A and B are shown apart, each in its own frame.
Chain A
Amino acid sequence: MSRPRSQAEYLARLVPSSVAGINRRSLLAGAAGTGALLGTGLLAGCGDDSGGSDSKDVSLGSNQSDPKPKDVVAKVTDGFKTSSGVQVAVNTVDHNTFQENINNYLQGKPDDVFTWFAGYRMRFFAQKGLAGDISDVWGKLSGYSDAFKKASTGDDGKQYFVPASYYPWAVFYRKSVWQQYGYQQPKTLDEFTTLAGQMKKDGLTPIAFADKDGWPAMGTFDILNLRINGYQFHIDLMAGKEAWTSDKVKKVFDTWARLLPLHQPDSLGRTWQEAAQSLQQKKSGMYLLGLFVGQQFSNEEQSDLDFFTFPEIDPAIGAKALDAPIDGYMMARKPKNEDNARKLLEYLGGKAAADITVKNDPATLVANSGADVSGYTALQKKAAELVGSATEIAQFLDRDTRPDFASTVIIPALQQFIKDPKDIGGLTSSIENQKKSIFTD
C-alpha cells in the first residue's frame, strides 16, 4: 500500500496499527520513531527546566504527518499563538508509527497535548491513568452535541478528549447510475434487499465489498448490529460485557449471511480502494463505507456521489445511530505546562480552530457545530446533517473495543464468516472463548 496522500486516505488508515499492518520499512521507521519520541520528550524536558514555571510554551504531539493535515495543524497552532501568545512546539510523527508506539509514548515523556481518537481507545488510556482529566475544559466549550460529549467521556464520567473532526459511514452511490435505472433510497431492510435484487437484474453488483485489509467488514457488522440491537448493545458487546454467543449476535450474522450474496464476491482479496473503483466505474450499485470513499472519485465526479444511511431493520430501534469515528486531542497525564495545555485544548475545541480547519482542509468534517461551514461541499453538508441528526455515534468496531481483540480475534473471525457464512454457531463460540481469555481485567 502506498503512503496516503490526502486527509481522506489518512482517515481510512485510522485503524489500529495491528490492523493496519506494517511493512519492514515502517517497522524500521517505528524504531527510529521511538527514538525520536524519546528524543523530543527529553528535549522538551530540558527546555522546560530552563524556562521555569512561567514558560510561554506547550508541546503538541501530532500524528498528522501528511502534508495537508500537517499544514492545518500548523495553521491552527499559529492561530492559538496569535490569540494567547503561547508558543506551540508541534512534534509530528508518522501516524502509523505514532499509533504503534502510543504505549511507550504515553508511558515515557509524552507531549503536553496529543492527537488521538474517541471511543474505547480513548477510554482505555484514560482508565490506565495515561491521560489527563479535562472536564474543566469541557465546561468552557460550546457547539458540541451530547453525542460528541458522550464520545469524549471516560468510564469514570470525566472528559478526556476534545473532538476535532469526524467522518460518517453510510451507503454511497452514484446519482447518475440511480437516475438511469430509477432507483429510490430504501427506508427498510426489505426495500434495501429488493433494490439490491433489482440491481442484480440490471447487471450491476448490488453492494461493492472488500475485506482484504480486515477492517472494512467491521463496518458492515457494526451497522447491522446497530440496526438490529441498538447502540447500547454495541457498546456493551464491544466492552466484553455481552456474550458473542447470544441470539442477538447470531441474528446479526444471520442477517448478514442473507445479504452476503448481494455483496461483491471474492472480497477477501480486494482492497477498499478496488471496491470503491467498482462503484466509480458504475459496475456496482452502492457501497457501505466511510466518507473517505470519495477519494477514489475525480473532482468532476464528486457531485455525482451521494449517500443514504443504512436502512432501518427493527422499527423499535430505528435508523438514527451510525458509525462516525471522531479524531481529536487528549492531554498527557502530567503535562509540563498544564495551564497552557488546557488553554490549547480549549482553543482546539473552539470555533476559531474549527473555522481554520474548514477553510484549509476541504476533506474533513469539523466537530464543532458553531464553525462556519459555508465552505462545505454538498456531500460534506449532507454528511454533517446526517451525523447531527444521529442519536448515538459509534466509533467503529476497532475503536470501540480493545484493539488486540479487534485485530487478533474479530478480523480473522469476520473473514472466516465471509468465507463460510453457514457455521455461525461455531464462529460465535470461538469468538466468545477468545474474548473470555482477553477481557480478563
Chain B
Amino acid sequence: MSDLPLIQADRAVPPPAATTSKGGRRRRLRLLSRTDRVVITLMVLVPLLLVTGFVWLPAVATVLLSGTNWDGIGPLNEIEFVGARNYSDVVNIYPPFVPAVQHNLLWLAALFVVATPFGMFLAVLLDKELRGSRFYQTALYLPVVLSLALIGFVWQLLYSRDQGLINAVFGSNIDWYGDSNVNIWAVMVASGWRHVGYIMLLYLAGLKGVDPSLREAAAVDGASESRAFFRVVFPVMRPINIIVLVVTVIESLRAFDLVWVVNKGRNGLELISALVTQNVVGEASRIGFGSALATIMLVVSLVFITIYLATVMRENRE
C-alpha cells in the first residue's frame, strides 16, 4: 500500500507560505511525476481536440455557412456570401418558421407542465411499494427503451385515420396525424408517453436516496404526507430536480424523431430541428439556409445552457 499515494513522500508538500508565490506554484506542479503529467496532458488534449473537431468547428462552420447560399456542390472557394439574407428570408418569407418556434415552445411547456410532474407523481406512487409496483415500473419505463422513431410508428397504428385503433374503437373520424389543429397534441401525447417513464425513473432513484430518517422525523413532527413531501423530501432532492429540469429542456429542444417519422415535420408538426433537416439533408440542399436555421437553434439552446450553467455555478459558490 505504500506506493499508492500519488504525491510521493520525498517530494512532500512545501510549507503553505511558499504556495502564495509564483515559484511555489511551479514547485507544486512538479509534485506530479513525469508519467502523471503525460497522462494529464493527454487527458486534457484528446478530449479538447475531439470537442474542437466535432463540436466547435462544425458549430463555427455552421455559423459561417449561414451567411452563404451554398448548395453543397462545388469547391469551397466558390461559395458566395449573401450576408444576412438567409436570416431575413427565414423570418420574412419562410412560412414554417414561426409555427416551428411556437411548437418548440409548446413542446417545452407541455413536457414541463404536464409530462414531468406526471412522471414525478408516478414515481412518488411507485415509491410507496404498492403491490405489483415492479410491474407498473417496468410497464411505464418500457417506452423509454424504444427509440422515438419506433414510438412514432407504434402510435401511428393507433392514430391512423382510416385504419387506426382509436377511430375504429370509438367510431370517430378524427385525422389525428393529418389535422394540423390536432396533430401536435397527438404527437405530444406520444412524446410524453416516453418522457413520463424517463422522469419517473430518475425521480424514483432520487426518492430511494432520500434518508428515511427525514421522513420519520417529519412524521413524528406531525406533518401530513403531502406536506412532508413538498417541505422535506422535495427540497432534499434538489440535485435530481435540476437534472430533471435539464433533461426536460433538452428533450424539448431535440424533439425531432417523432415528428419526422410522422410527416417529416410538416403540416402542423414544424419544429426547428425538422426544418434544419429538411433544408440540409438531401441531394441538392440549401445548406446556407439550413445553417441559418441551425444557428438560430444554437442561439436558443445557448440561452438555456447559460441559464443552467449560471444556476449550477451559483450553487457551487454557495
Contacts and interface: CB of A to CB of B under 8 A. Distances in A.
Interface in A97-154: 99-100, 102-103, 107, 121, 124, 128, 130
Contact of A214 (B72, B161, B263): B263
Nearest to B96: A412
A25 to B, nearest CB: 7
12 contacts: A17-B282, A21-B264, A24-B147, A24-B149, A25-B149, A214-B264, A214-B266, A268-B175, A269-B176, A270-B178, A404-B282, A408-B278
B73 to A, nearest CB: 5
Contacts of A438: 286
A305 interface: no
Contacts of A411: 266
B179 interface: yes
B183 interface: yes
Contacts of B267: 268, 412, 415-416, 419
B160 interface: yes
A403 B147 CA distance: 29
B241 interface: no
A102 B175 CA distance: 36
A411 B85 CA distance: 23
B141 interface: no
Contacts of B178: 212, 266-270
Given A214-B266, A266-B175, A270-B178, A100 B95 contact: no
Contacts of A102: 283
Interface stretch (A158-166, A226-234, A429-437): A429-437
Nearest to A283: B162
B236 to A, nearest CB: 38
B162 to A, nearest CB: 5
Given A212-B263, A408-B278, A434-B89, 8 more contacts: A25-B149, A100-B282, A213-B264, A266-B178, A269-B176, A270-B162, A278-B162, A407-B278
Contact of A23 (B69, B96, B149, B177): B149
Given A100-B283, A438-B286, A18 B263 contact: no
Contacts of A277: 162-163
Interface in A176-224: 212-214
A17 B279 CA distance: 11
Contacts of B161: 266, 269-270, 274
A180 B16 CA distance: 102
B15 interface: no
B257 A403 contact: no
A103 B161 CA distance: 37
A18 B176 CA distance: 24
Contacts of B281: 17-18, 22, 27, 100
B62 to A, nearest CB: 17
A103 B260 contact: no
B283 A434 contact: no
A212 B89 CA distance: 26
A23 B257 contact: yes
B136 interface: no
A402 interface: yes
A415 B73 contact: no
Most-contacted residue by chain B among A274, A403, A419, A437 (CB, 10 A): A437
Nearest to A120: B284
A16 B283 contact: yes
A103 B285 contact: yes
Contact of A103 (B160, B177, B284): B284
A261 B45 CA distance: 65
B277 to A, nearest CB: 8
Nearest to B181: A419
Q: Would you call the interface of chain A mostly helix, strand, loop, or mixed?
A: helix
Contact of B89 (A213, A266, A437): A437
B44 interface: no
A83 interface: no
Most-contacted residue by chain B among A24, A99, A107 (CB, 10 A): A24
Interface of B: 69, 71-74, 85, 89, 92-96, 147, 149, 159-163, 173, 175-180, 183, 257, 260-261, 263-264, 266-267, 277-279, 281-286, 289
Contacts of A413: 95
Contacts of A407: 278, 282
A91 B232 CA distance: 65
B179 to A, nearest CB: 7
A17 B275 CA distance: 14
Nearest to A104: B72
B149 A403 contact: no
A408 B286 contact: yes
A437 B289 CA distance: 10
A95 B100 CA distance: 30
A440 interface: yes
A404 B71 contact: yes
A437 B257 contact: no
A121 B283 CA distance: 9
Contacts of A130: 73
A302 B224 CA distance: 72
Contacts of A107: 73
A154 B99 CA distance: 39
Given A212-B178, A269-B176, A412-B95, A440 B282 contact: no
A299 to B, nearest CB: 22
Contacts of A408: 278-279, 286, 289
Contacts of B177: 212, 269
Contacts of A100: 281-283
Contacts of A433: 92-93
Nearest to A440: B69
Interface in A220-268: 266-268
Contact of B260 (A23, A416, A437): A23
Of all A-B residue pairs in the complex, the 4 with the closest CB atoms, nearest first, are A269-B178, A18-B282, A266-B175, A268-B178
B264 to A, nearest CB: 4
Given A412-B95, A437-B89, A419 B180 contact: yes
Contacts of B162: 270, 274, 277-278
Nearest to A124: B284
Nearest to A27: B281
A415 B261 CA distance: 17
A279 B109 CA distance: 42
A402 B286 CA distance: 10
Interface in A385-441: 402-404, 407-408, 411-413, 415-416, 419, 430, 433-434, 437-438, 440
Contacts of A18: 278-279, 281-283, 285
A274 B284 CA distance: 30
B163 A274 contact: yes
A23 B176 CA distance: 21
B183 A269 contact: yes
